[in-house]
Amino acid sequence: MKYYIIAGEASGDLHGSNLIKALLRKNADIEVRCWGGDLMQQAGGTLVKHYKEMAFMGFIEVLTNLNKIFKNIAFCKEDILTHQPDALIFIDYSGFNLRIAKWAKAHNFKTNYYISPQIWASREGRIEKIKRDIDNMYVILPFEKDFYENKHNFPVHFVGHPLIDAIEKRPKTEAFVFRSKNNLDPNKPLIALLPGSRKQEVQKMLSVMLSVTDFFKEYQFVIAGAPSLDLDFYQPYLNPNVTFVSNKTYDLLSHSTAALVTSGTATLETAIFKIPQVVCYKANWISYQIAKRIITLEFISLVNLILKKEVVKELIQNDLNTKNLKTELQKIVSGDAREKQLQGYKQLEKMLGGPGASDKVASLLIKNN
């Protein structure tokens, strides 16, 4: 059996790697060719293109890189035709993957989508493309099954969230070892800064996050470096009370008191670690104005969306400033707001479906293809 997996971001690389491991556990003769990253390659996939060559954030950046995007799409189609996989597996990354899915369906390839495009957030009309082009959909958020099946009459499989497995199975580092290896103050409690994984995103978010450090001298602030960005990029942001760890986000979260987190999957990761957080989001003015008109959600963080209420504070666009960030961070390092978040996290954990997402998807893929 030959699978072709397409992921276009760091999170997709993580979940794709765990899926590859699960597939190989069930059948060691399976072949996997993939677009993703180092983790998918290490798990046993043959890497065709790295997500670092594909990650474009925001409407403006996409427009300025259209030529490169179209070249990637053409190359992907050519590679699929050359290798003739038995089934394709798309992981999130909807702008690219839905285009390939349309083409693949027309060429009689079996199409599977793992981690649904967020059509419940914007451009819901894409449901027609999904119903036309996707044979099997595997969703990871509890409200997505209701959205697809009851609202749009499209059967899907709810498999639970793969982050639960990724976090539970990670190698664990003791606090004193983590601090020692990363030259962290042995006595100061840590506040994690998760400014995102793309260069443009980090540049927007990190300076605002760091603007509050002088008000919290008793804490050590630690930037979670993205695997796609090197130390030189982060160097201008560092000082004696602001340090940096590269590709160690889970270790950092497991030993932190609180976190400032850019909206996205990281908000859910932080919640699973049971770390109180302030959710941050700021885009360039044009991108924000466009997004505001097409996104119909009451909240931007997955934590609040799943719980259908505000459990974590969201500071969006102009509300993300030093004054507000200082106030909200102070609330969650101790006190009632901290306890409220921790109680909300317990409820969230029950709703996420428990462990085993990768194994469930692997079993369904083998059965359905």
Domain containing 231 — which CATH number? 3.40.50.2000
CB 86 within 8 A of CB 3: yes
Q: Are residues 188 and 135 in the same domain?
A: no
pLDDT tens digits for range 97-137: 999 999 999 999 999 999 999 898 888 999 999 999 999 99
Band (pLDDT 50/70/90 cuts) for residue 354 is: confident
| Residue 297 pLDDT exceeds 80 | no
pLDDT at 290 (0 to 100)? 52
274: left (phi over 0), alpha (psi -120 to 50) or beta: left
Q: What is the pTM of this model?
A: 0.80
Q: Are residues 249 and 182 in the same domain?
A: yes
Find residue 34's DSSP bridge partners. 5, 47
pLDDT tens digits for range 54-68: 765 555 555 666 677
The rounded radius of gyration (Å) of the Cα atoms in the chain is: 21
Q: Are residues 185 and 302 in the same domain?
A: yes
Over range 319-334, report the average pLDDT: 96
User: What residues make up the domain containing 150?
Assistant: 2-161+353-368
Q: Are residues 140 and 231 in the same domain?
A: no
Q: Are residues 41 and 126 in the same domain?
A: yes
| H or E element at residue 142 | helix 142-146
Q: Are residues 34 and 66 in the same domain?
A: yes
| Residue 253 pLDDT exceeds 90 | yes
Letter string b/e over residues 289-313, b meaning 16 or more CB atoms within 10 A of that residue's CB: eebeeeeeeebbbbbbbbbeeebbb
pLDDT at 213 (0 to 100)? 96
Question: What is the number of structural domains in the chain?
Answer: 2
- Phi then psi for residue 270, to 5 deg, are -60, -40
Q: Are residues 181 and 302 in the same domain?
A: yes
Alpha-carbon distance 249 to 304, whole Å? 22
Q: Are residues 44 and 99 in the same domain?
A: yes
Q: Are residues 22 and 130 in the same domain?
A: yes
Please give the DSSP secondary-structure letter assigned to residue 308: T
- The residue length of the chain stands at 369
